[in-house]
Amino acid sequence: MKIINVEQMSPEWFAIKLGTPSASNFSDIITTKGEPSKSAKKYMYRLAGEFVSQTYEESYQNAAMLRGIELEVEARQLYAIINEVEVEQVGFCLEEKPYRAGASPDGMVGKDGIIEIKCPSAAVHVEYLLNGKMPSTYYQQVQGQLLVTGRKWCDFVSYYPGIKPFILRVLPDPEFQVKLQVQLEIFTSELKEIITKIK
């Protein structure tokens, strides 16, 4: 795994990601049960199109998503203070063997950890606090980040101003990660074939 340190969401970051499946979209490749996702083909076609055209297809960002991006800085700072650690921001973590896949963690912590920050609505944040468990919506993303980075744990952080943060340490799920690796090999192999056909 190599770390390409460019600012996340910058033109350089998008350029590096072209045609590369990334952890935030691993739910389009595999389900939480480890089965192939029904969204795989659509995601594959999108990546192939982006790679050949060298144009990143912008996804829709609503007001809540933009607000989340702004609050991420506050959340990262609060996490660092609470845990008395330094959080290193990174660009894109890229794994190229035996398949090409990447991840953009919201921070690296020491030699062993990463963090993934979400800044949801107050209602969703409260739900996370009350449930006290990893939201299944982000399961593939977090496990994918752990796989790509090779880190030992990920602290999932949910933040909403004025309410205590939800911080949950997530460890690698070896059984799921084996299934994820299989699906990534299948996915990237088919992706290469498609790219060759449409060039």
Q: What Rg do the C-alpha atoms of the chain give, in angstroms?
A: 17
CA separation for the pair 101, 148 (Å, rounded)? 7
For residues 155-183, average pLDDT: 97
What is residue 62's predicted lDDT score, i.e. its pLDDT? 67
Pick the CATH number of 2-198 from 3.90.320.10, 3.90.1580.10, 3.40.50.12280, 3.10.129.10: 3.90.320.10
40-60 confidence digits (pLDDT tens) = 999 999 999 999 999 987 665
Work out the number of other CB atoms within 10 angstroms of the CB of residue 197: 9
Band of pLDDT at residue 11, cut at 50, 70 and 90: confident
Does the model's pTM come out above 0.75?
Answer: yes
Mean confidence (pLDDT) of the chain = 94
What is residue 59's predicted lDDT score, i.e. its pLDDT? 65
Nearest to 156 by CA among 173, 129, 134, 123: 134
Band of pLDDT at residue 23, cut at 50, 70 and 90: very high
Band of pLDDT at residue 97, cut at 50, 70 and 90: confident
For residues 91-116, average pLDDT: 95
Two tokens, residue 73: 């800085």
Give the rounded percent of residues in the chain with a pLDDT score beyond 70: 95
What is residue 44's predicted lDDT score, i.e. its pLDDT? 97
Nearest to 154 by CA among 57, 99, 101, 79: 79
CA separation for the pair 179, 37 (Å, rounded)? 12
What is residue 115's predicted lDDT score, i.e. its pLDDT? 98
Whether the Cβ atoms of residue 49 and residue 42 lie closer than 8 Å to each other: no
